[in-house]
Chain A
Amino acid sequence: MNSRQHIFDAIRRAQLTPIDHPSIDYSKWTVEGQSLLMDFQSMVENVGGLYSHLGQISELELLIKTHYPAAVNIISTVSLNNINAIPMDPSTDPHLLADVELIVMEASLGIAENGSVWLQDPLIRVLPFITQHLIVVLQGSRVVANMNDAYSIISTEDFGYGVFVSGPSKTADIEQSLVIGAHGALSTRIVIT
């Protein structure tokens, strides 16, 4: 008998009493009068992220020049006119991205309860991790209250890979001392437009 069959037989032998999937009242978690964008901002800062609000997307270049003056190796999925970004091709060997200093990419969702943003099928999957610094551009109207709301949107979409990113990479594995910058980005900035 093969292992798969063996495991399924053992599960069926256990004969657990069938019980329905719970009907969950998602409205229980709705907070009346919540300002999604204000809560989102405070959670982004809470998880160690940086937060900027732009009047218009054209101000992005100034923001990059102001906050990342030394960055040379920049990749951006948002078109930049006066900054020399490295052109991106999905077939690029991800190992060649080891020296990327700044990546600018767009998110389709932000989550107010935890300051995370949803990156779906990035052009190259390693981008948001391998970069030293990450900028994520998000429309303010795309912030939802919590993960339940987020998954009700995401579950209708077709994608191969997606990641919620909440702040910069971090660790507290040495005596519970929080250190920002573990293996992923050393800083993460959310730019709201």
Chain B
Amino acid sequence: MNHAQTTKAFFKDPQRVGWHDNALWYVRSKRDKAANQVKDWEYLKDAGAAIKQHTLAHLDKYLQNFEDNAQQNGVHVHWATDAQEHNQIVHRILAQKGVTRIVKSKSMLTEECGLNPYLESNGIEVIDTDLGERIVQLAKESPSHIVMPAIHKKKEEIDTLFQEHLHTAPCGGDPLYLTREARKHLREKFLNAEAAITGVNFAIADNGAIVVCTNEGNADMGVQLTDLHIACMGIEKVIPSMEDLGVFIRLLARSATGQPITTYTSHFIRPKPNATMHIVIVDNGRTRQMARSDFKNSLHCIRCGACMNTCPIYRRSGGHSYDATIPGPIGSILSPGIDLKKYSSLPFASTLCGSCTEVCPVRINIHDQLYKWRQIISVDGNFPIGKKVSMKITGYILARPRL
């Protein structure tokens, strides 16, 4: 992929670019307001960064503790080295119980692993229950943002989509009507589901808890109405203790949407009576990123999306232009670690203005890492095509001082 090319579709409609830019800047402004209301916000970020740095340096110990405690709580723990193994494990758990209908709450990991198409090809109905995710699922698209999956969609498009799939009345894109219709449609899915899959925002080594944050209540509507809960997480989601969790819960929603906390912050420790709970812990390239000293702290990311909302490139090019599960600045330092050749243009999709680094709640030096990837890419000769030409011209001019 080449970012300069993939943005072209989005650029076709200049009005939409401006609208998208404004929508995200609005979220960024809300984040500033929320952060300013917390006394010593910068110290909170310091604490978050230091806890993550410590945890990553002792990840084996904390994962071991987490596994021990989760198992003691009666939870089944599974390990997957890659996406394929993750999908197979989830499918095996579902198949053993003969499950054919599942509801899913937001999980970027399962997006990364391509879980939905895998399960669907095995005859299982997968319903995404976060409203934004349901919208993109019905539109057969992927999320364009990790917190606001349908931020690229206009309300009139959603109106049309719901008329087609949920048989709603035309409403001129009335968000209240459309949300209420989605509530009805998804309530029925919740009540008929046989299993629930969730992501994990934080996993607590100390007591084996997993913590899931939602505004809509969809994770709990799924989990609490079914007897089988499968939670999928990357290895970097573990943190030492509940005390540490306090720091991250204070950082997450303020950075993400400018809320002081999400509506629901659910702590799943033991399964409910007569129910089964599984946790699938996935590597899928994370240990490779961990071994790269310049890039390892990209694993501190708590997936708030603040770097996307503030990025002048993301706001004007849309999440789909990154052609990856995690778009935006953080995605542009993660994706080259997964496939350097494919994603060699992404570290150049930045002005290096440093705004991403500034808003990051766990102090990831995102713009420094973008610059470091550029150096690796230029040494390896993996320049994106457009860049190669412009660099040649620059070289030509620099070599001829009289020009």
Contact = CB atoms under 8 A, between A and B. Distances in A.
Contact of B220 (A11, A29, A126): A126
Q: Is the interface of B mostly helix, strand, loop or mixed?
A: helix
Interface stretch (B267-275, B324-332, B360-368, B391-399): B267-275
Contacts of A19: 53-54, 57
Nearest to B271: A160
Interface string B280-292: 0101000110110
Contacts of B23: 175-176
B44 A29 contact: yes
Chain B CB within 10 Å, residue with most, of A14, A31, A43, A181: A14
B246 A147 contact: yes
Contacts of A184: 216-217, 220-221, 263-264
Nearest to B86: A3
Interface stretch (A80-88, A100-108, A162-170): A162-170
Interface stretch (A51-59, A61-69, A71-79, A151-159): A151-159
A162 B43 CA distance: 28
Nearest to A154: B242
B81 interface: yes
B215 A170 contact: yes
Contacts of B269: 159-162
B51 interface: yes
B150 interface: yes
Interface in A160-193: 160-177, 179, 181-185
Q: Is the interface of A mostly helix, strand, loop or mixed?
A: loop
A8 B291 contact: no
B54 A22 contact: yes
Contacts of A161: 266-270, 272
B113 interface: no
A31 to B, nearest CB: 6
A10 B187 contact: no
B41 to A, nearest CB: 9
A24 interface: yes
Interface in B36-55: 38-40, 43-44, 46-47, 50-51, 53-54
Given A161-B269, A183-B186, A166 B130 contact: no
A22 B60 contact: no
A3 B67 CA distance: 14
A116 B265 contact: yes
Nearest to B287: A10
Nearest to B26: A176
B247 A148 contact: yes
Interface stretch (B114-122, B176-184, B313-321, B370-378): B176-184
A8 B220 contact: no
Nearest to A43: B260
A50 to B, nearest CB: 14
A137 B173 CA distance: 37
Interface string A132-161: 000000000000001110111011000111
A51 B29 CA distance: 27
Contacts of A182: 131, 179, 183, 215-218
A35 B303 CA distance: 33
A70 interface: no
A24 B175 contact: no
Contact of B221 (A28, A30, A130): A130
B60 A8 contact: yes
Contact of B224 (A10, A46, A129, A166): A129
A164 B309 CA distance: 26
Interface in A15-43: 16-22, 24-25, 28-31, 43
6 A-B pairs with least C-beta separation? A184-B217, A182-B216, A10-B287, A160-B270, A114-B260, A126-B224
10 contacts: A7-B287, A8-B63, A16-B59, A29-B40, A116-B261, A148-B247, A161-B270, A181-B183, A183-B216, A184-B216
Given A10-B290, A147-B250, 20 more contacts: A7-B79, A10-B287, A11-B290, A14-B291, A24-B247, A29-B40, A115-B260, A129-B217, A130-B221, A147-B246, A147-B249, A148-B247, A166-B264, A169-B215, A170-B263, A174-B135, A174-B153, A176-B148, A182-B131, A183-B218
